[in-house]
Structure 1
Amino acid sequence: MSGAVDTSTPVQPPEFPQRLGHPRPLWMLFMTEFWERFAFYGMRWALTLYIVAQFFGGDAAGQASASRTYGAFLALVYATAIFGGYVADRVIGYQRSILVGAVVSAIGYFMVVVPDHTLFLLGLATIIVGNGLFKPNISAQVGQLYAQGDARRDSGFTIFYMGINAGAFVAPIITGLLAERFGGPDMPAYKAVFLAAGIGMLISTVWFWFGRHQLGGIGRPPAGAEGPTRVLAVLAGVVLAVPLVYFLMSIDAGILLWILAALFVGLCVVVLAEGVREGPVNRDRALAMLVIFAFNVLFWMFFEQAGSSFNFLAQNIVNRDFGGFEFQVGWFQSVNPIAILVLAPVFAWLWVRLGRANPSIPRKFGLGLILNGLAFLLLMYALSSLVDPATHKIPFWTLFMVYVIQTAGELCLSPIGLSMVTKLAPVRVVGLAMGGWFLSTAIGNNLSGIFAGHVSGEGGMTVASAQAGYTFGFYALVGAGVLLFLIAPLIQRWMHGVK
């Protein structure tokens, strides 16, 4: 998840010492982000499985509730990122925002270790609030290391992006091994997972604490706000925000959906009104952007089955046995980041190689939706034709390839989202429009939990329920992708030459 885009007047960075051709602080930020992503993805795969095991006594009837909690968690992670950039820009600066967010997140990770449902949800709420302060601002710090026009900027973000995916790759493998190693009545497996995630977040905090001096004045508090008063005010805001997020986590997922949708509609009205005020060209561009936001909701609704229904599919319906060696459920979560590292250079080369035939923004989004749909088509085929009559399970390779195909779809859509907003949004509301992008993703994530709950049904996932749910996913995604291809010429006209 990328963070806020700095639309303020650029500040000339100091002459940093160089390491491997880049400013030395880049590598400190790389490792800070690596350990934060280790914590997040190390815990993320286990959430739904833990909820069912701990709070429903292993009863499969708890799968639907677990999926809805997971969807709400991801939705609010994205939604709170909207406010993190504001706090950094206007209140306490980027460095202090990252530190406060890291400490708050670490507290949340250790809270979820305690096997109490209320404290568990409070822990998730604490992680959400901490993530909102941490995640968007550390990405912004990377951009601030380079002067305007520095040709190394894109390469620096590529290196930083590798840190994100390296942490996401190793985390499920390590925490999955810990879950297997320490599983038992005295030390529940998922407790070891959450402890490891909390330790990872502590390492991230300490790494940034000792490394931040490398940044010099980059990301320091605004002039006149160097004292502790504003930090204390932000901490007070955190204390107030955690119960609010807890409340949003606790209510019905459908109600949360209406709240997020109302915020999104209000935001869209403001952005479109500003576009109308700026004239027909900006009005059309704003409209094109908002239409793509709607399709973005659908993409993430089905993509984020990874931590919910795909978990239950892997646990109960996928054959993970390799002659006595069992592939851990959590390890499937490592397929996406390693596939990104492998496929991202391929897609970057492909877009350049196509030259003038390079697909437009709406067609790339449409291709992303269709590829996501093809992943569900593979599941439809597996669940209808490849179920082993003896074990009632589908082959391992099918779910593995689902993650790979979905990653290809993600690479068509996700990398261009933030860039698209900066190109199409009315100048005076770029930050607000960026919030719309995150809100559309948040709504998709919340819908992913609701959809996963329907896939599991009241009694837990079966081959029949999975096949029915994923069949719907296929038709919805491919239908939306084809529709977007058909209306792409209209959207391109509205974009008025923006590529």
Structure 2
Amino acid sequence: MSGGATTQQEVAIPEFKQIMGHPQPLWMLFMSEFWERFAFYGIRWALTLYIVAQFHGGDAAGQKDANLIYGSYLALVYAAALLGGYVADRVIGYQRSILIGASFMAAGLFMISLPDPNIFKLGLATIITGNGLFKPNISTMVGKLYKMGDERRDSGFTIFYMGINAGAFIAPILTQLLAQKVFNTGNTPAYKIVFICAGIGMLVSLVWFYFGRKVLQGIGAPQAGQEDRKRMAYVVIGGLVITPITYFLLQMGADTLQVVLTLLFIILSVLLLIEGVRVGPVARDKVIALLIIFTVNVLFWMFFEQAGSSFTFLAENIVHRVGDLHFLTSLAGMDEFPTAWFQSVNSVAIITMAPLVAWIWVKMGKFNPSIPRKFSLGIFFNGLAFLILMVALSSMVDAGGKIPFWTLVAVYWIQSVGELCLSPIGLSMVTKLAPTRLVGLGMGGWFLSTGIGNNLSGKFAAFISGESGMSVASALHGYTLSFYVLCGAGVVLFLLAPLIQKLMHGVK
């Protein structure tokens, strides 16, 4: 290759100690990501409910604003990965990016515990800055532990993905119990406790990675020319500058943000295409395939991420939660199944189903679906989840205006199967299809496409809630539309899969 520094993927991979058939550093990264996801998902269930309770006095009309803020926050969290990937690739390396990102995230989590709307949004902006430096780079480092032809690569990403979900499973349960039963005696959780616990979890991730990174043996360390510690100071200063800009993007609203994110996606696409063309036709075709998959990813997350927005209000107001799984709620000293705990269903499903799905892919051998076909399966399962809601909201509503408890559990579970067909495969795919010199930027593109989907999810959730809050009728209308859009997209992708696979030049 001509021009530019040699990337870390081109450096000889050390002979790592193997634990359970995988390099030792995988397990260190697993636990770092566990605690980071504990922090991230620890606040997920509470954000929209907190915004309505704290800044709208509990008025259901505040649901629209809460959904839009939530969607924009998630969008910027993932869009920031674009810049974070570039910083790691070209400025300070992956390890230092992760350490700085963890510090910013911890600070932001403690900030949002202060009940002021401006400080709250500034805290969200600080979390966004930190996550951009942390999230894409720790994922990229997993790929750098394996040689390109190593058959363990996909299973390594699946294990890593289970680390993500182990943290995501524990976080809603623990933070909700602490906020409602330990530090509060009423029915309304002490939301600041949720945010403080998440901040502590982020500090654990920071300390764990700081002391554990020695097992990486140079993987993710600064490259030649990046060793100067002044570069870290420049990145910190840059983060302090970007955070207020992110705050203003949150203030400007989801519509303006959508324009900004779309422009960023176009710029990223052009940069990747230029690099692909420079390297050669094969690299160019792989980039084209990558960009098609990114577009599908937008659609998937637009509807999947209703889990943290409209589904939260659905669970709070329309799902029957009294008496269901009473043995669990009685153990926790509660009269009803907490809304927060629905967020853990996804993680239980991932942890339970991930080994099974990975085993199925292996056992299928030569009949193992191509990456595009797996993505179409993810879209179909997402659509199936909304079909359940269509049936429940049209024919299972009781006299109290509630749908059965099991229907929302089934929705989260089926969506999770779709996620397993798409998300872990996507992380691995980026490291295979992105130009070698811009793997971090490619991973940033994956998260940017997720971010665009998340912003659209907030807009769609706001559409479902309307001006007066979610009702059975508005939920039925919105989720019916979701089903038809996803099924149509799944059929189109399934039919186009052979063409996309051809562009991938043998990548599986």
Please report the TM-score for the alignment, with normalisation by the length of structure 1: 0.90
CA deviation after TM superposition for structure 1 residue 409, in Å: 0.9
Counterpart for residue 33 of structure 1: 33
CA distance in 1, matches of 2:92, 2:169: 32
CA deviation after TM superposition for structure 1 residue 281, in Å: 5.4
Deviates more, 1:413-422 or 1:149-158: 149-158
CA deviation after TM superposition for structure 1 residue 89, in Å: 3.4
CA deviation after TM superposition for structure 1 residue 38, in Å: 0.8
Amino acid paired to 1:383: L
Counterpart for residue 358 of structure 2: 348
Structure 1, unaligned runs of 5 or more: 1-5
CA distance in 2, matches of 1:186, 1:484: 46
Amino acid paired to 2:458: G
For residues 156-195 of structure 1, the C-alpha deviation after alignment (integer angstroms, 9 at most, x for no partner) is 5444333221111111110111232133689962111111
The yes-or-no answer on 1:479 pairing with 2:480 is no
Counterpart for residue 322 of structure 2: 321
Counterpart for residue 424 of structure 2: 415
SS at structure 2 position matched to 1:115: coil
CA deviation after TM superposition for structure 1 residue 493, in Å: 4.3
CA deviation after TM superposition for structure 1 residue 143, in Å: 4.6
RMSD: 2.8
CA deviation after TM superposition for structure 1 residue 91, in Å: 2.6
Q: Structure 1 residues 396 and 255 mapped into 2: Cα distance closer, same or farther (>3 Å)?
A: same
Amino acid paired to 1:161: Y
Pairing 1:174-193 to 2, within 5 Å after superposition = 174-181=174-181, 182-183=183-184, 189-193=190-194
Counterpart for residue 3 of structure 1: none
Q: Structure 1 residues 351 and 22 mapped into 2: Cα distance closer, same or farther (>3 Å)?
A: closer
Deviates more, 1:287-296 or 1:121-130: 287-296
Counterpart for residue 84 of structure 1: 84
CA deviation after TM superposition for structure 1 residue 213, in Å: 4.2
For residues 384-408 of structure 1, the C-alpha deviation after alignment (integer angstroms, 9 at most, x for no partner) is 111111x210011000000111011
Amino acid paired to 2:446: W
The answer on whether the counterparts of 2:102 and 2:205 sit within 8 Å (CA) in structure 1 is yes
CA deviation after TM superposition for structure 1 residue 66, in Å: 0.7
The answer on whether the counterparts of 1:7 and 1:431 sit within 8 Å (CA) in structure 2 is no
Counterpart for residue 198 of structure 1: 199
For residues 404-424 of structure 1, the C-alpha deviation after alignment (integer angstroms, 9 at most, x for no partner) is 110111111222223434444
Deviates more, 1:175-184 or 1:363-372: 175-184
Amino acid paired to 1:334: S
Q: Structure 1 residues 132 and 427 mapped into 2: Cα distance closer, same or farther (>3 Å)?
A: closer
Count of residues in Structure 1 that have an aligned counterpart in Structure 2: 493
Counterpart for residue 470 of structure 2: 461
Q: Structure 1 residues 113 and 23 mapped into 2: Cα distance closer, same or farther (>3 Å)?
A: same
Q: Structure 1 residues 40 and 496 mapped into 2: Cα distance closer, same or farther (>3 Å)?
A: closer
Q: Structure 1 residues 287 and 134 mapped into 2: Cα distance closer, same or farther (>3 Å)?
A: closer
The yes-or-no answer on 1:126 pairing with 2:126 is yes
CA deviation after TM superposition for structure 1 residue 263, in Å: 1.6
Counterpart for residue 361 of structure 1: 371
CA distance in 2, matches of 1:303, 1:292: 16
Amino acid paired to 2:416: T
For residues 287-325 of structure 1, the C-alpha deviation after alignment (integer angstroms, 9 at most, x for no partner) is 333333222211110000111000000000001111574
Counterpart for residue 387 of structure 1: 397
The answer on whether the counterparts of 2:286 and 2:503 sit within 8 Å (CA) in structure 1 is yes
Structure 2, unaligned runs of 5 or more: 1-5, 327-333
CA deviation after TM superposition for structure 1 residue 13, in Å: 5.3
Counterpart for residue 289 of structure 2: 288
Please report the TM-score for the alignment, with normalisation by the length of structure 2: 0.89
Counterpart for residue 330 of structure 2: none
CA deviation after TM superposition for structure 1 residue 94, in Å: 2.8
Pairing 1:248-259 to 2, within 5 Å after superposition = 248-259=249-260
CA distance in 1, matches of 2:431, 2:155: 20
CA distance in 1, matches of 2:501, 2:151: 29
Pairing 1:62-141 to 2, within 5 Å after superposition = 62-141=62-141
Deviates more, 1:155-164 or 1:271-280: 271-280
CA distance in 2, matches of 1:394, 1:216: 54
The answer on whether the counterparts of 1:84 and 1:137 sit within 8 Å (CA) in structure 2 is yes
CA distance in 2, matches of 1:498, 1:143: 15
CA distance in 2, matches of 1:277, 1:211: 38
CA distance in 1, matches of 2:286, 2:16: 39
Amino acid paired to 1:72: S
CA distance in 1, matches of 2:216, 2:210: 11
